[in-house]
Amino acid sequence: MVKTKVAHSVSITHIKHNPLRISMHLLSGDHTNPIYIIVENVRSLFNVGAIFRSADGVNASGVYLTGFTGQPPRKEINRVALGADETVPYLYEQNTLTAIQYLKAQNVQVIALEKTDTSVNFQTFDYQSPVAVVVGNEVEGVRPQTLDACDHIVHLPMCGQKISLNVSVASGIILYKLLQAVGH
């Protein structure tokens, strides 16, 4: 059994063999914006906490934690999230591709935030609603097989020597762009 927190700090227990069973609850959040974030293999619990806080800031419908990404309850996550980990719906799914496939089956546009040869500037991309964004590991980024499963890949333009921002900072930027794109 796996415990998953959903809106209003209600704890739902679901069967491990059907980990996305409650995802319809995430998708039906009529009081939230149609924005999801998939967090793949993010090592730092502080980064996870900051992503929860940004997800709360845009009133996102849900957070999918995948791979070895840490999950609540953890004091490190809660310290940075300032309680957003208790109010933003989230689901842990070991396999990122399973989460992506489920969201796509619900007509959610899935984009990856990663700099590649074919990625486009996040500011000029035409987002659809509902939309999910995949963010990846602090060092490795989003895995190649995950990139292949996404509908599109966008990147944040970098003008300095580094090719990327911290995953929690980049997540905050893209989440607010998605909020603008869905009409807020």
Separation CA 43–CA 137 (nearest Å): 7
pLDDT on residue 29: 55
How far apart (Å, rounded) are the C-alpha atoms in residues 8 and 79? 19
Residue 30: the pLDDT is 62
Instruction: With cut-offs at 50, 70 and 90, classify the pLDDT of residue 158.
Output: very high
Task: Tell which residue, 97, 100, 141, 96, has the closest CA to residue 119.
Answer: 141
Average pLDDT over residues 33-39: 97
pLDDT, one tens digit per residue, over 84-143 is 999 999 999 999 999 999 999 999 999 999 999 999 999 999 999 999 999 999 999 999
CA 5 to chain centre: 15
pLDDT in the model for residue 8: 29
Nearest-angstrom CA–CA distance, 91 and 138: 21
Residue 184: pLDDT band with limits 50, 70, 90: confident
**Which carries the bigger pLDDT value, residue 168 or residue 1?**
168
d(CA 139, CA 156): 16
